[in-house]
Every structure is written in C-alpha cells, then in structure tokens.
Structure 1
C-alpha cells in the first residue's frame, strides 16, 4: 500500500483482533477512553499523518485535530526506524511496555498494522476504532493548532490541483501556484529536474543576497515576485528537497504580504509515493501587473541586524535562540567555508538543530515530515524557552531558523521572529560580544529523536 494512502475507516474492528499468532489487541470504546484521558497509565497515540493531527478533518468528520493529550506515532514511520532503535525511540516519546497504549486512526489498514507492530514487540495495545464518531460529538475534547492550514499534505494539494473542494482553500483555482524551492537559476536547479506536474521553480536569490544573505531590498523582492507571477492574493504552495529552503521562502513571503502561503509537508518524496503526477518540463510563470500591497506587510516577523537584536534583548528580554549544530554553538566550527568566525552571540540559547549547517535533523520525523510541535516544546523547556517568551531564532544565514519559527506560528505562539543576520552578520564586526564553548560547561542536551539510519523491514505479521 502506498504511504499515506488513506481509506475511510468504515469497517468496525471486532472486539478483539489477532496481531500475530499469540498477540491479542483489544478495543476500547468512547466511554472508557474518556475516563482514561488523564490516566497516567494510558498513552493515547494518533497514528495518522501530520495534517490530520494538526487540525484538518478526517473523511466524514465534522471536526479536525487530535484527541486531547494524544501523542503522535505515524504508521508511515515504521518503514524508517531501525530495529535496534525502535524501543528507545518509542521510550523517548513516552511509550513503554508498562503502559497501556491506545492507538486510533481513520484508516483500517494503518490502524491494524501499527497496533500489530507494537503488540508483536510486547507492548500492551488497544485500539480505538470510533474516532470519526468521537470527532462528530462536540462535547468530546479535540485539540487543533490555530494555523494548522499552513502545513498541507500531498492529498490536499492533489485535490486542489484537480479542482476538488479542499478544506481551507477558498481561492480561485487559477490563483494557485506551486513552487519547488532551491538556490540558483533554472539551469542550476537540480531538484527541479523532476517536479510536481505544473510546479514552477523558485530561486531563493529572488529574496536574499550576499554577503550577509539577509532579505533583499523590498523593491527588488517586489520586482522578482511580480516577474514570477506572485501577488498578495495568490495561494502559494512551497516544497523543497531540503526542507529549509521552502520554509525560508514561506517566512519571506509572509513577511512580504502574500496572504495564503502553504508548506507541503513531506514534499516530492511523499507526493511520488502516492503516485501523483510529476514531470520534467520547465514551467515559466506569467508575470502579474502588481504585487497589490506595500512590501513588507509584516515587518514584525524579522530582526535584521545585530544591533537591533541587542536593543530588543535589553528592552523586551528577547531570547536569542541558536538553531545551529552543537559544534557550531560551542565554537568548534563556524559551519561555513565563507564564515571565518567561530562562536555565538553572547547570551544565545541552544534551541536544537542537526548534524551540520545543512539540516535541522532534530526537527524531523523518520519519514522526513516535521516533528510534532509538542515534542519540540518539551525539549525547549529544558533550555528555558517557553511559550510567551520573546524569541528570535537564528542560524548562520537564516535558512535553519525558519523551521522553529514556522512551528511556533503554526501553533499560535506570538512574539517569535527570525533574526535574519544570524551568526554571519554578528561575526563581521568585533564590537558585538561573542560566547565560545558550552555555557556553564553543560553537556549537549538529548534531542530524543534517534531512529537510526537503516531501513526497517518490520517485526510484525502486518509489516
């Protein structure tokens, strides 16, 4: 079965189903589930893909989102977790063999597979097969993220491109534009060689420039957007091989004033896995007459240069949050061949990142989608980063900082911005104070996201 290929859960799972020869998975009904929502011995687990957990409605449901307090463990991850990492990876999410696990999904095949997988490994497993009915009763608690519609699934995009009615899409279909995002003009855009059918290429140089790689002059950005068919009223869907590029441009377009920007979570990989159409021909967008608003419409989304960051640290207790690898944060490496300085702005807090300047692996799930926001927020609490704080995310030149900014905005946090100049601008002038080494000699915090590197064949009879 293709990943993410969802069929509505119309068949009831029996009172008990056999996971393998001697593993039994029992059902739980709504009344019993509600009684145990706050039971610390129960772990409620949503095995659907991100967009449904975040807030989109399952088929035949009148409300979207996830059951209150539910964690996430998507069935699609099972093919991407190494066998020797599985139990430790699950434990980092609060899943252990002394707890009762309750899985729910809107897809019968996925629900059966993931429950069987865990049962085969010795976990105590139950399934809740009444989720659609649960969602259709207003008094049953569900949680959604305020800006859930910013992150969309391949199924959503495919429906919109085929002219079907899709939740949260209220624009004229002719105003939809899909962009593959990467650095460089078309002749250098290797990731555009095969792309979503109908998609255009977005060169990140349209909005940023050397040597600092900050946002360009608003007039130049406006000129580039107009030339490439983007005005404030377009619905722009972005994806990229490296998630950083799409989320960098997402932030830039929201800053500029495009009202409806979406991020395709899972990108081309998930799109192709579902069998949706791709092509190799080059698509050239038609220019528009005007952007339709003064750029920027949302200047509050950015701090441009170091002095502004320092001023806001003093005035608003702004916290600078580094989204750089641990070796960059502690001053062992600069992270870039064109940035000579090593270290961090004085007072910077480490906000987790990845292995080097090319990724933020701590923020990704095993299938390459964005990690559950609650997991990120739990990590941040250990770093003294909390909802309500004034936060400025930064990295070397801005790309990595877009990921945590997007997650905070998706979930309705306020007072979060990107410090665009990043370490690059800071290290250019010796007047700005620098810290080197781990503050107070702390050890690197555990990102709790080690799923290994090997493809997992599966231990249960359903794999």
Structure 2
C-alpha cells in the first residue's frame, strides 16, 4: 500500500537521479542537541550531499525567544531562506545526519506553515545515503540570494495557552514524541528543564516507534506500520491531534507520518516540554 501523500518522502535513488535538476534544491537540516558532542555546521562543511545548503534551525528561528529554535516571524523566515538562495518555484529535498529524520521533518513542517508545500524529507537521511556509497562533497554552496516569499499559517501551530485550555476541553489529542523514560520523568531532559514528566492527558508515542528498524535503516514505516504504531499508543486517528516533544524537533516526525497517511488535522506545540516544564504555573503528570 502506498502513502496517501507520497510526495512528502523521497528515496535516495530518486534523489541521486535528480541531483542535477535545477528545479530541485537539497537542504541539509542537520542539528545536534547540546548533549551531543557534534558540530552540525562543521560536519556540513566537511561532507554533505552535492549541492546542499545548510538550514540552521538555531538561526532560522525567533530571535527574541528564550526557547531554542522557535518559529520565526514570516519576514525573518523569508530573509534567511532568501540568503540561502531558496526559491518558491523549487522543490526542496531535506535531510539530516541523524537517524529518524527529526530535524529534516522539523524543517519540512516549517516550510509548510510558511506556505511552501513543495518539500519532501529524504527517507533514511544522510546515514542511508552514505551507507549506499553515494556521492558527497565538502565546502560551502553559496547560491545567489533570492526573494523568497512566505506567509505564516498558524493553524498548524499551538502555543501553551491553547494546550492548557485543551487539557479541559479535550478537543485535540496530545501526542508526545519523547522517549518513554523522558515522558515518565525517569531521566533528565536533553535541554535543561526544572521539572520532569508530561502534559496532563497526553499519550506517549516515541518517534522511534514510527521508524522501521530504528538504528539500522532509519526509514519511515509503511502506511500500515504507521497506523499500527499510533493505534498501539492509543491514538484515535479520526480525531485532531497536537504533537509535542522536548523542543519541537522530534514532534515533527509523527506529524510527517500522519501527513504521509493522509491525516492533516494535526498541529505542533512549538514550545513543547522545554517551555511547559520550566513554567511552575502549568500542570504536569509524572
């Protein structure tokens, strides 16, 4: 069975055949959390898929927010995408260097909320590309600056007040993509957080459960596999959903998975646990 929206995911062999297509722009969305001793900017310079530009989610974000990589205003998104030479008439193929397509799914979601639907995530990302011994290059691609246009659609974004109200109304289901131990407050968060646990009423669906043979293939599950993962977590796929995680990165993976199988009544709580857990006025469950 094929995906309902197959254009949101491309395979490595397809991209290899289209690297020279001027209507395609490859985007390296690699991002590492503070606990990971790796430098995404340096790694991009050392090796990346030919023609790729680096999309830094810690730069293309809201400047004044105390939270990491929050959605920026449309004007800033336009300007910084333009500096990367991105055009509205291009199709963006997005990848990252970690298994699970976390940051690439986040960037895919960002383009969608700013009105650019012609984007896809590379299934398996850079790890699969390298394992298949496909071409790489180093250095920096510096295309000419462009006038990229963006229009913000807030229907796919939730803020803490909306999530708090939803605890009572239960209009939307809250799906937390963090690991089991983080969801239950058994281990420290990746980003410094004063409290541990989860938002009341949320269900836990670790993003790794949506991946096929996680830590081996790093590819998205089949449509039936995705549905089974959501069903096992107790998620009603006929109802609206809010995804959340630690800082709004891995929450994009279940959001992408739901889009692939045709469920688009979904939004992301951008602040996620890094905001919620650091606010003593907001309720938590452990």
**TM bucket, shorter chain:** 0.7 to 0.9
CA distance in 2, matches of 1:221, 1:330: 35
Contact 2:167–2:201 under 8 Å retained in 1: no
RMSD: 2.2
CA distance in 2, matches of 1:188, 1:178: 16
Q: Evaluate the alpha carbon distance shift between residue 320 and residue 292 of structure 1 in structure 2; reply closer, same or farther with a 3 A threshold.
A: same
Aligned to 2:61: 208
Contact 1:181–1:204 under 8 Å retained in 2: yes
Question: Do structure 1's residue 301 and structure 2's residue 149 form an aligned pair?
Answer: no
Aligned to 1:221: 77
Question: Do structure 1's residue 429 and structure 2's residue 279 form an aligned pair?
Answer: yes
Contact 1:325–1:352 under 8 Å retained in 2: yes
CA distance in 2, matches of 1:376, 1:392: 17
List runs of 5+ in structure 1 lacking aligned partners: 1-65, 67-143, 163-172, 354-359, 437-463
Which has the larger share of strand? 1
Q: Evaluate the alpha carbon distance shift between residue 199 and residue 340 of structure 1 in structure 2; reply closer, same or farther with a 3 A threshold.
A: same
- What is the SS of the residue equivalent to 2:220? coil
CA distance in 1, matches of 2:210, 2:93: 24
CA distance in 2, matches of 1:336, 1:215: 20
Report how many aligned residue pairs link the two structures.
Answer: 273
Of the three residues 193, 200, 211, the one matched with 1:346 is 200
CA distance in 2, matches of 1:245, 1:219: 22
Aligned to 1:6: none
Deviation of 1:189 (Å)? 3.2
Q: Evaluate the alpha carbon distance shift between residue 252 and residue 187 of structure 1 in structure 2; reply closer, same or farther with a 3 A threshold.
A: closer
CA distance in 2, matches of 1:272, 1:343: 37
Q: Greater shift after overlay, 216-225 or 270-279?
A: 270-279
CA distance in 2, matches of 1:154, 1:392: 30
Which of 1 and 2 has higher RCO (CA within 8 Å, sep 6+)? 2
Aligned to 1:231: 87
Aligned to 2:50: 197
Write the deviation string for residues 63-109 of structure 1: whole angstroms up to 9, x where unpaired: xxx3xxxxxxxxxxxxxxxxxxxxxxxxxxxxxxxxxxxxxxxxxxx
Write the deviation string for residues 378-418 of structure 1: whole angstroms up to 9, x where unpaired: 23223321211111110010111011100000110131111
Q: Evaluate the alpha carbon distance shift between residue 364 and residue 192 of structure 1 in structure 2; reply closer, same or farther with a 3 A threshold.
A: farther
CA distance in 1, matches of 2:103, 2:188: 20
Question: Do structure 1's residue 269 and structure 2's residue 119 form an aligned pair?
Answer: no
Deviation of 1:182 (Å)? 2.0
CA distance in 2, matches of 1:266, 1:383: 24
- What is the SS of the residue equivalent to 1:262? strand
CA distance in 2, matches of 1:174, 1:203: 23
Deviation of 1:211 (Å)? 2.4
Of the three residues 224, 229, 232, the one matched with 1:379 is 229
CA distance in 2, matches of 1:337, 1:258: 30
Contact 2:44–2:54 under 8 Å retained in 1: no
- What is the SS of the residue equivalent to 1:207? coil
Higher Cα Rg, which structure:
1
Deviation of 1:361 (Å)? 6.0
Q: Evaluate the alpha carbon distance shift between residue 265 and residue 340 of structure 1 in structure 2; reply closer, same or farther with a 3 A threshold.
A: same
Deviation of 1:224 (Å)? 0.8
Contact 2:177–2:250 under 8 Å retained in 1: yes
Of the three residues 11, 15, 22, the one matched with 1:153 is 11
Contact 1:334–1:340 under 8 Å retained in 2: no
Deviation of 1:252 (Å)? 0.7
Aligned to 2:36: none
CA distance in 1, matches of 2:191, 2:27: 29
CA distance in 2, matches of 1:329, 1:272: 32
Deviation of 1:275 (Å)? 4.1
Aligned to 2:262: 412
CA distance in 1, matches of 2:128, 2:196: 37
Q: Evaluate the alpha carbon distance shift between residue 347 and residue 215 of structure 1 in structure 2; reply closer, same or farther with a 3 A threshold.
A: same
Aligned to 2:109: 251
